Amino acid sequence: MYIQYTMDQLCLPMDLEEDIPENHLVRVVNAAVNRLDDAIFDAAYPGGGRDSYHPKMLTKVIIYAYTQRIYSSRQIAKAIREHIPFMWLAGRQRPDFRTLNRFRSERMKDVLETVFSAVLQFLADEKYISLEHYFVDGTKIEANANRYTFVWGKAVSKHKTKLQEKVHALFSTIEAAEHQEEREHHGKDLTELGEAFELDSSKLEQVTQQLEAQLLKHPKDTPLKKAVRKLRKDLLPRLVKYEHYQKLLGNRNSFSKTDTDATFMRMKEDHMRNGQLKPGYNVQIGTENQFILAYSVHQRPTDTRCLEPHLEIARRILGQHPQTIIADAGYGSEENYAYLEKEEITAVVKYGSYHKEKSKAWKADVSKIENWTYNAAEDNWTCPAAQTLHFHRESKETLESGYEIRRRHYRSQSCEGCPLKDRCTVAVSLERLRYQSQARERLRSEEGYALAVRRMIEPESVFGQLKNNRGFRRFLLRGMKKVTLEVGWLSLAHNMLKQAGVEQKRKGAILQ
């Protein structure tokens, strides 16, 4: 009546591979990692101590786990004990969660990028990618940090200024209480120390020690005693804290106390629709055929200043700069155009006003310099009111990055009484206009238009895969280095999945 069923009898075959379908994703992961040279992992193992788990085994397990939306080291260790594909990859070995976490976040910190580059080389050899076109974009991913442990740069500066004022006032109080016009401390009185320049924590510590030494000579000096106590217990510790905060901030405007590398940013996932800022990182990727070619993590909320550092990382990963960069208007700054031109990279990059320029309202707006006529030979402009504006002077603006923008100012002797005067602009960067003209020409060409359209299904689709299909919306690790490693593992897993999908499509088989 029933098929024989017993749990006490040993069954054959014993090989777990027999239970894994031929087209299973785990076979793609296994084959790709097996192709890596063992010497790649030597830097992660300096030697000594007991024998370690094989790095290829751990690499396979972690990559496959990321393809299965398993990111926690405890859950990965659990899967190794319970799931046949994980058991097969691990060769029935059972590394615990500490070993897995230490491997992915510590041992691989100097190796993962090399592994990623080697896998890319395999993909290029098999014609999955050509490295001809590089579609770049960024997305924000929330950090593993408390949303309410924020520190704002402006608040720190304001509190530090108020603290300096309190220190100055305290010194003045000491002077008044002692009824002295001058108190010498190594040639300077307290008023000079407080008012001649801003005190840092080391100088305030020195002054506090001087006052403490003086208090030993006059132990009954109550005002001095109170001042020393306030300096030691309140003002000095707070100044040390503010200086520490400013060091952590660098050129950022905020950070989280629970992950000091994370910056508060506006996320697309704003379910309360209140524009809440959350601690996060700006993840930049470059793709081709929806394979990730390079990745980088940044603390800046906007994409504009991320392009140059990202492409330098891409050059390190790929061994060369991509031939053509395709990006949206978030990257279309004069500085970025100049960088791409210097590196001899073809830029199919929109600028902020690219689409607006096509509208009737823009073409009729006399305040837009693009609607004026420029005479390069005589270096003058003709405005919509038919007035000629001649070169008057040049101004320079140095950006935070050090890039210098040169603006040329033009004026006419006949602008008085012109009804369009208040809407005219006569300060312009000729370099910016030149770069925009080049970008406009490329974007309106047949090839440029095709690449711009293709960009919408390149990195955007990859971000959709990472965030929605694989549910990675928040980092598990903390700190820039570990977060970058997480993105590296994610990118490896994505490329394996993509390779498997393309391979099975070529074979006409269904991916298990």
Question: What was the pLDDT predicted at 185?
Answer: 46
Residues facing 428 on adjacent strands: 408
Q: What is the pLDDT of residues 37-94, one digit of tens each?
A: 988 888 888 776 778 889 999 999 999 999 999 999 999 999 999 998 999 999 889 9
Q: With contact defined as beta carbons under 8 Å apart, do 301 and 277 qualify?
A: no
Question: What was the pLDDT predicted at 245?
Answer: 92
**Measured distance CA(78)–CA(245) in Å, rounded:** 40
**Measured distance CA(480)–CA(477) in Å, rounded:** 9
**Lowest mean per-residue pLDDT among 246-250, 272-276, 324-328, 382-386:** 272-276
pTM: 0.86
Task: Sort 442 into a burial class: Cβ within 10 Å, 0-12 / 13-18 / 19+.
Answer: buried
Residue 130 Cα to chain centre, angstroms:
26
- What average pLDDT score do residues 124-133 get? 90
**Orientation of helix 55-67 relative to helix 73-82, angle to 10°:** 100
**Measured distance CA(7)–CA(340) in Å, rounded:** 66
Q: With contact defined as beta carbons under 8 Å apart, do 362 and 353 qualify?
A: yes
Q: With contact defined as beta carbons under 8 Å apart, do 218 and 178 qualify?
A: no
Phi, psi of 298 (to 5 degrees): -135, 155
Residue 467: closest CA among 485, 494, 436: 494
H-type alpha helices, 54-111:
55-67, 73-82, 84-89, 97-105
Phi, psi of 407 (to 5 degrees): -110, 130
pLDDT-based confidence at 1, cuts 50/70/90? low
pLDDT-based confidence at 413, cuts 50/70/90? confident
Q: What is the pLDDT of residues 79-109, one digit of tens each?
A: 999 998 999 999 889 999 999 999 999 889 8
**Measured distance CA(48)–CA(164) in Å, rounded:** 53
